[in-house]
């Protein structure tokens, strides 16, 4: 009779799994709801990301900003960010102040850095919308934006034209943005790597990567995205070093001691120093 009241082991385990899944879903949902409450606010019946705030300040509108910053407001019409700007009544508390904070105190003071938000000093303003980019900066290898050594505006222009400097129809290429800091890698070489001509982001992830040097791929996998012909059954008889197939196990195409001048060379067509 005692065994008649026992729940089979398989049934007990199944019931426990269902209960655990339900608890996890409930906890996850509650956590997500709490997060949304913390990062959003309700304005005029709509939910938006909470704008940067200036204690005690109120919104004055973009027209007021144009009184002193006429050129910035004028050129903003051409900016990528302008395409996202709310129109009509929905734009009462948006525009310039959605990134720089409510401007009443700035206007009352006749200007002044301490009365307005300067996104150059902190990337958190940009991260209000670009949450995925913030996550990329947290990867093991990234540009030093989170520690304050760089700002988003060094590579991006939020006020006019393409948000990516050198993008769109601008006369200079996107590589020029990288060249501001990485002059040695973007100089003119006698024998240039074609990948550099196509753009630095062909091989590098500009915000962050799990790979060293912010590379998009690990080891020779990166090179083989373009040089697929170098790893074939006949590649073993190519080249003065005895072929490519035998070299791949030694490491990447550059650290194996072959094509170490990965950006370009002034002395060797095979990208060697």
Token pair in block for residue 197: 């001509």
Q: Is 264 helix (H, G, I), strand (E, B) or coil?
A: strand
- Tens-digit pLDDT string for the chain (273 aa): 444 444 444 444 445 445 544 443 343 444 433 333 333 443 444 444 555 678 889 989 888 999 999 999 999 989 988 887 666 666 665 678 888 989 999 999 998 888 999 888 889 999 988 999 999 999 999 999 999 999 999 999 999 988 887 655 444 566 888 988 999 998 999 999 988 888 899 999 999 999 999 999 988 889 888 887 766 555 544 444 556 767 777 778 888 778 899 999 999 999 988
Q: By the 8 A CB rule, do 171 and 89 touch?
A: no
Counting other chains too, the contacts that 180-183 makes at CB distance below 8 Å and 24 or more residues apart are: 180/154
Q: How far is CA 220 from the centre of its chain?
A: 24
What is the model's pLDDT at position 5?
A: 42
For 238, the enclosing helix (H) or strand (E) is none
Q: By the 8 A CB rule, do 203 and 175 touch?
A: no
Token pair in block for residue 136: 């990329």
Beta bridge partners of 48: 41
Backbone angles phi, psi at 132, to 5 degrees: -65, -35
Q: Where on the phi/psi map is residue 213: left (φ > 0), alpha (ψ -120 to 50), or beta? A: left
DSSP string computed for 45-108: TEEEEPPP--TT-----HHHHTTT-HHHHHHGGGSGGGGG---GGGGTT-TTHHHH---HHHHH
Distance CA 164, CA 2 (A): 74
């Amino acid at each position: 009779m005692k065994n008649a009241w026992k729940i089979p082991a398989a049934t007990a385990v199944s019931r426990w799994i269902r209960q655990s899944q339900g608890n996890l879903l409930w906890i996850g949902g509650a956590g997500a709801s709490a997060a949304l409450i913390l990062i959003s606010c309700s304005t005029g019946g709509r939910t938006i990301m909470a704008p940067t705030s200036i204690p005690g300040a109120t919104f004055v509108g973009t027209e007021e900003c144009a009184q002193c910053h006429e050129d910035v407001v004028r050129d903003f019409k051409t900016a990528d960010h302008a395409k996202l700007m709310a129109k009509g009544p929905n734009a009462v508390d948006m525009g310039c102040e959605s990134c720089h904070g409510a401007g009443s105190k700035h206007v009352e003071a006749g200007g002044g850095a301490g009365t307005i938000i300067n996104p150059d000093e902190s990337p958190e303003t940009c991260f209000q919308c670009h949450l995925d980019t913030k996550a990329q900066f947290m990867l093991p290898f990234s540009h030093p934006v989170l520690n304050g050594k760089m700002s988003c505006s060094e590579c991006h222009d939020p006020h006019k034209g393409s948000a990516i400097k050198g993008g769109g129809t601008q006369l200079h290429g996107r590589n020029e943005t990288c060249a501001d800091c990485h002059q040695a890698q973007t100089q003119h070489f006698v024998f240039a790597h074609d990948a550099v001509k196509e753009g630095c982001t062909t091989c590098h992830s500009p915000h962050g990567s799990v790979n060293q040097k912010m590379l998009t791929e690990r080891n020779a996998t990166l090179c083989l995205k373009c040089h697929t012909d170098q790893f074939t059954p006949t590649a073993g008889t190519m080249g003065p070093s005895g072929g490519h197939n035998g070299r791949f196990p030694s490491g990447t195409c550059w650290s194996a001691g072959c094509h170490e001048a990965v950006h370009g060379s002034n002395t060797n067509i095979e990208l060697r120093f």
